[in-house]
Amino acid sequence: PKFYFALTVTSSFISGLIFVFEWWHFRKYGTSFIEQVSVSHLRPLIGGAENSPPAPAAFSAGENETSRQNMPECKVWRNPLNLFRGAEYSRYMWVTGKEPLTYYDMNLSAQDHQTFFTCDTDALRPSDTVMQKAWRERNPQARIKAAYQALELNNDCATAYVLLAEEEATTIVDAEKYFKQALKAGEIIYRKSQNCHSQSPQHEAQLRRDTNVLVYVKRRLAMCARKLGRIREAVKMMRDLMKEFPLLSMLNIHENLLEALLELQAYADVQAVLAKYDDISLPKSAAICYTAALLKARAVSERFSPETASKRGLSTAEINAVEAIHRAVEFNPHVPKYLLEMKSLVLPPEHILKRGDSEAVAYAFFHLQHWKRIEGALNLLHCTWEGTFRMIPYPLEKGHLFYPYPSCTETADRELLPTFHEVSVYPQKELPFFIHFTAGLCSFSAMLALLTHQFPELMVVFAKAVSTFNYRSCCDGC
C-alpha cells in the first residue's frame, strides 16, 4: 500500500506540474507547448513531415512570395492620438509604479524619430549631428542632455525643442511652451529649405525632413490646445494643417480632427469629415468605422427599446444604425467590451495594430466619453454588437464587409501593450487537448492516491485483480 500510495502521489504531482505549465504557456503564447514540440520535433522523427502540410510559422525575412501572399500582414501604425511621454506616460508611472509603454513600442518610436527628424545632411550642422545621436539613445536622461547640448550649439534647433517637449516637460502647459519654440525655429529652417531644395538631392532630403518637423510640431500644438480645453483653436489648427499639407494624409490627422469635433458636438462637421475619409478606396480604422456607427446610432438611440423593436420590427433608420454597428464590430471586435466597460482600460500605446486590441484601447480611451454623451447609444451597442458574430461564423477564413480577420494580431498586441493588461483575443481559442488530458490525468491520479490512503487493502486487491487480468490477456494473445 505504501508503494502504491507513493506512486500515485508522485504521478499526481508530476501531472499537476505539467498541467500548470501547459496552462501558463497557453495563456502567454496562445499555443500548447506539448503540441508545439510534437509538431516541431517529433513529427519529423517519425516521418510525418513529408505527408503533412507545413505548419504556419512566424513571419520572417526568409518567407517565400507565396506564403506572403496567403498570410495577412500585421502592419503597426503610429497612434494618431498618442500621449506625451513626460506629461502623461511618466506621470502615470510615478503614480502607479507601472511602466505603461513596452520596450518594443518605444523602440518603434525611436525608429520613427530617426526617420522623421534626421537626414543625410545632418553632418553639415553640428546641432543636427548631436540630435541624430540623441534619437538613438535608450536612456531618457541621456536624450534630454543631448537636446540641451544641441541648443547650446544652435538656439534654433527645432528637433531639440521637440524632444524636450515630449520627454522633459511634466505638464501639457510646459510641453506647449517647448513646441511653440520649436515652431518658431522650424518655420525659419523650413523657409530656408524651400528656397534651395532644387539645388541637389541632399537639399530635397533636407526639405522633406524640415517638412516632417514642421507638420509634427503643428500637430502636437493642436493636441496641446485640445487637452487644455481650447478645442475650437485646436480644430482650426488641424484644418489649416490638412489644407497646407494635403499629401500627408497617411499621418491620419483627420482622426485628431474627428475627436475634437465630437467634443464640440459638431456632428454635421463630423459627418462631412467622414464623407471624405470613409471611402472604399481609403484604409479604414476603428475611429472611422465606430464614429460612423455613432452618428447612425445618434439618430435612433434615444427612443430605441429592444422590447418595442422585437414587437414592431426595426425601422429603416434603426436598421441602418445596426448595420453600421455590425460593420464597425467586424472591423475591430475588441472595441465594444471597452465601450461597455466590460474590460478595464489602460493608457494607449504609441503604436497600434489596426483591427487589434491595441487599436481598441486607443479608440475607447479617447472616444468613450463621446458615446456616453449620446443618450441610448451604448444601450443600442449593447443590444446589437454580438449579432455580428452570427454573420461571420469563421472570421479567420471569410469576412462579410472586410477581409478575413488577421490571425497575427494577438502576438503583435502582446508586444505593444503592457504586461499587466489582459490582451483581448478574437476569436476565442478553445483549450488545447493536452490541457484537458493533463487535468484529467492529475485528477485521476490524485483520486487513486486518496483511495489508496483510505482503503489500502481494497486497493491492493484491486491492483492484483487488474494485474492478473492483464497477465491473462497477454497469455491469451500469445
> What's the pLDDT tens digit per position in 285-327?
999 999 999 999 999 988 888 788 778 888 899 899 999 999 9
**166-203 pLDDT, tens digit each:** 999 999 999 999 999 999 999 998 888 887 766 677 77
**CA end-to-end span of the chain, whole Å?**
31
- The whole-number pLDDT of residue 201 equals 75
- The whole-number pLDDT of residue 433 equals 57
Percent of the chain with pLDDT over 70: 81
**139-164 pLDDT, tens digit each:** 999 999 999 999 999 998 999 999 99
Residue 74's closest CA among 392, 352, 425?
352
- The whole-number pLDDT of residue 60 equals 34
- The whole-number pLDDT of residue 247 equals 76
- Is there a contact between 234 and 260 (Cβ–Cβ < 8 Å)? yes
Residue 174 CA, chain-centre distance (Å), reads 29
Helices assigned H by DSSP within 197-229: 201-227
Q: Which helix (H) or strand (E) holds 8?
A: helix 2-29
Amino acid at 99: E
- Is there a contact between 30 and 410 (Cβ–Cβ < 8 Å)? yes
Say whether pLDDT at 111 is over 80.
yes
Q: Which residue has the cell 531639440?
A: 160
In whole angstroms, give the CA distance from residue 404 to residue 409. 12
Burial class of residue 66, CB neighbours in 10 A (0-12, 13-18, 19+): exposed
**330-355 pLDDT, tens digit each:** 999 999 999 999 999 999 999 999 99
Assign 380 to helix, strand or coil: helix
Helices assigned H by DSSP within 122-230: 126-134, 140-153, 158-163, 172-196, 201-227
Residue 4's closest CA among 416, 452, 468, 466?
452
Query: Which range, 217-221, 391-395, 444-448, has the best average confidence (pLDDT)?
Result: 217-221
For residue 375, give Cα distances in angstroms to 298, 314, 332, 368, 372: 8, 19, 23, 13, 7
Residue 350's closest CA among 359, 342, 340, 337?
359
For residue 268, give Cα distances in angstroms to 258, 262, 307, 316, 322: 11, 10, 31, 21, 20
Provide the 10 A C-beta neighbour count for residue 182: 27
In whole angstroms, give the CA distance from residue 349 to residue 341. 19
Q: What's the whole-number mean pLDDT along residues 275-279?
A: 88
The answer to which of 42-51, 68-77, 242-251, 407-416 has the lowest mean pLDDT is 42-51
